[in-house]
Amino acid sequence: MHVTLKAEGLAEDEQLRKTIADADALQRLIEAGAPEQLLSERNAVMAKIEATKKEAQRMAVWGTFSSERIAELKEAGYELHFFTCPKKRFQEEWGSIVAEDGDTLYCAAVTKRQDDAVVTLSGEPYSLPEACTEQTLNERSANELLADVEALNGLLAAANARIEAWGKANLDAKRAELAELRRSIDWQKVQLSSDSAADGALRLMEGFCPTEKVEELNKVLNELDTYYEVEEPVEGDATPVKLNNNKFAKLFEVFTGMYGWPTYGEFDPTPILAPFYLLFFSMCMGDAGYGILLMLFGWLTYKGKLKIDMFDGLGPIIMTLGVGTLVVGFFLGTAFGMDLSALFPSIDYLFLNGKVITEGGVQYLSKAAYAAAGIEGGYDVAMVLALLIGVFHICLAMVVKALCYTKRFGFRAQLGTWGWTLLIVGGIAALIICMALSVPMEVTKTVLIVIAAISALGIYVFNTPGRNPLLNIGAGLWDTYNMATGILGDTLSYIRLYALGLAGGMLGGAFNNLGLMVMGGSTEGATWQWLPFILILIIGHLLNLAMSALGAFVHPLRLTFVEYFKNSGYEGKGNLYKPFANAK
C-alpha cells in the first residue's frame, strides 16, 4: 500500500532529521569507498607526488649535482649562485652557462668569502646583475627527486590497498546498514503522517492500493484486527499512479519521469512518447553506421563488459535507439558519412535521396538526387518528412488532449478544446481525404467552411459554458492569437530533426574527405599513409558520434516536453506509486 505522507511536521521532527543525516553520511561513505581518514592519507600522498614531480621538472634544467659536494664547498668558503638571464643581455663575466631554453639562459656563479665580503674568484665584489633573476635550487637534483617519486608511488599503492581491503571487508555491510536506515526513514515518515485519535489510543492514516491488490490488503488488515474503510479516489486526491506499460514502452519511462509523472486520471504519455522519441532520436542521428556502434555500446553496457556509471542500467534502451538509428539511417541513405545511394546505385529506390526507375524513365526522389544528375528540380525529402511528422505529432497531441480532458472534466467543459481539435485536425484530415478522392474544389471548400463554422461555436461561444458570451468571445480571440503563433512555431521546431541529421552526415563526410586527403585522394596511398588515415576516421567519427548523440538525446526531449506536452495538455504533477513495506 502507498501511504499518504504529510509534509507538515516531518521537517521538524528531530529523530527523523538525525536518521536522514545518518543515511546521507553513510551514502557519502559508500560512494567514496572508504572512511575520510584513509582517503585523506591517500590524497596527501598523491599531492606530494604531484608536487615532487613539478619540482623535479623545475630542477631538470640544472642537471645532475651532488648536494654533499655543494655543502663541502660552502664549508671551504665558496658558494654557488644560480640565476636566469635573457640570452641577449648575458655577459661572460657574470658566470657560466649551465643550460638554455629558448631565449633564457640558466647560469651559475662561484663566489668566496673575503674579509666578511662576498667576492668573485678574481677578487671583485659580487652582486647579481639587474638583468638576472636569482634562483633557489632544491637540495636534491632532478634524479634524486624522481627517485623520491618512485618511493611515494609505493606509499600510494599501499594506501590504495588499504582502501580496497576496507571496501571488501565493510562495503556490503554498510550497504545493508543504509538500506535499513532508509526503511527506518520510511517507517518514521509513516508514523509522523498518521493522526492521533481517542487520546492517542488510535492512529489514523490514509493510503492507496491498486485494485488488483485490494483483496490481499483487506485480508492482512482483517488479520491485524484493524479498522479500515475503502473508497474510490476522486479528482483532487493525492492519488499515486502505477504505470502499466509493455516492455518496449517501459524502456522510455525514464524520460516521462524527467518531466513528471502523470496525475491520477491523466493519460500516461509513455506509450506515445516511446515510438516518437525513438523516431526523433534516429532522425537526429541519421547515420546507419552510428546505429551499429550504438547497438554495440548498449550491448556491452547491458552485459556489464563496459562499466560507466552514467549509463548504468541504460543498456537496453541504448540498443533500442541503435536499432532505430540503423533502420532510419539506412533509409536516409547515410552510413559513417558515406552516401549509400552512390555506393549502391542498384537499390537507389530504397533511399530518400535516391531515384526510382519508372516506365517513363527516371524519377528522382530528392533535390540532391536531381543535382547529382545535373538536373534542376525536386525538393528535400528529409526536410518535408520532418515537417509532416511534426504536423502529425501535434495533431495527435490535440486529439489526446480532447479525449483525456473530456474523460476527466466532461464533454461540456471541453467544447473549446474540441473546437480547436476539429478545426485543425479535422480540417487537415478533410483536406487530405478530399484531395485523395479527387473531390471537386467547390465541395471541398464547403466541407472546410462547415468544419470552420462548427469549430467557431466551440472556440468563441461555448468555450466556457455558463459564462457571459462576450467574455467567451474575448477569450476565444486571445486563444486564436496564441494558437496562430504557437502552432506555426511548434511545427517549424520539427525541422531540427532534419537539420541535426544533415549536420551529422556532413561532418562525417568531412572527416572521410580529410582522411582521403591524407591518402592522396584515393585508398591506394603509401603504407605510412594508412595510419593517419585510420586515426582520422576513428577519432573523427567517434567525436561526431558523441556530438550527434548528445543532440539526438536533447532535442527529441525538447520536442516531447514542449511541443507535444503543451498541445496535449499534459501536466506531469503526479506521484509514482511506491508501496510501503516494513518488517517492524
Last residue within a domain, chosen from 448, 472, 492: 492
- 123 falls within a domain: yes
| Residues 85-107: tens digit of each pLDDT | 999 999 988 989 999 988 999 99
* DSSP bridge pairs for 108: 82, 96
Rounded mean pLDDT, 230-246: 83
| Residues 310-356: tens digit of each pLDDT | 888 899 999 999 999 999 999 888 899 898 877 887 777 777 766 55
Phi, psi of 198 (to 5 degrees): 55, 50
C-alpha cell belonging to residue 489: 512555431
Which pLDDT belongs to residue 551?
Answer: 93
Together in a domain, 397 and 524: no
Residue 198 has pLDDT above 80, yes or no: no
Question: Is the backbone of residue 337 left (phi > 0), alpha (psi -120 to 50) or beta?
Answer: left
- 574 falls within a domain: no
Which pLDDT belongs to residue 174?
Answer: 92
Together in a domain, 308 and 360: yes
Together in a domain, 362 and 264: yes
Of the chain, the percentage scoring pLDDT greater than 90 comes to 37
Which pLDDT belongs to residue 322?
Answer: 95
- 583 falls within a domain: no
Residue of higher predicted confidence among 370 and 262: 262
| Residues 551-582: tens digit of each pLDDT | 999 999 999 999 999 999 898 888 888 887 64
- 133 falls within a domain: yes
| Residues 140-169: tens digit of each pLDDT | 889 889 999 999 999 999 999 999 999 999
Map residue 401 onto helix, strand or coil. helix
Together in a domain, 70 and 123: yes
Max mean pLDDT among 195-199, 326-330, 407-411 falls in 326-330
DSSP, residue by residue, 213-256: GHHHHHHHHHHTT---------TTS---B-----HHHHTTHHHH
Last residue within a domain, chosen from 162, 184, 211: 211
Domain range holding 168? 2-51+147-211
Structure confidence at residue 202 as a pLDDT band (50, 70, 90): confident
Which pLDDT belongs to residue 400?
Answer: 93
Collect all residues with Cβ–Cβ distance below 8 Å to 159 and sequence separation of at least 6. Answer: 38, 41, 42, 45
Residue 377 has pLDDT above 70, yes or no: no
Residue 477 host element (H or E): helix 469-492
Rounded mean pLDDT, 454-477: 83
Together in a domain, 389 and 375: no
Each residue of 340-370: b (16+ CB within 10 Å) or e? Answer: bbeeeeeebeebbbbbeeeeeeeebbbbbbb
- 234 falls within a domain: no
Together in a domain, 185 and 91: no
Together in a domain, 252 and 332: yes
Together in a domain, 266 and 361: yes
Together in a domain, 344 and 271: yes
- 225 falls within a domain: no
CA distances from 101 to 60, 97, 98, 106, 263 (A): 12, 11, 11, 8, 70
Together in a domain, 499 and 521: yes
Map residue 353 onto helix, strand or coil. coil
Together in a domain, 204 and 352: no
- 221 falls within a domain: no
Last residue within a domain, chosen from 460, 492, 524: 492
Together in a domain, 186 and 327: no
Structure confidence at residue 583 as a pLDDT band (50, 70, 90): very low
Structure confidence at residue 275 as a pLDDT band (50, 70, 90): very high
Per the structure, how many domains does the chain have? 4
pLDDT, mean over the chain? 86
- 9 falls within a domain: yes
Structure confidence at residue 216 as a pLDDT band (50, 70, 90): confident
CA distances from 519 to 213, 443, 506, 513, 541 (A): 68, 64, 20, 10, 17
Residue 236 has pLDDT above 80, yes or no: no
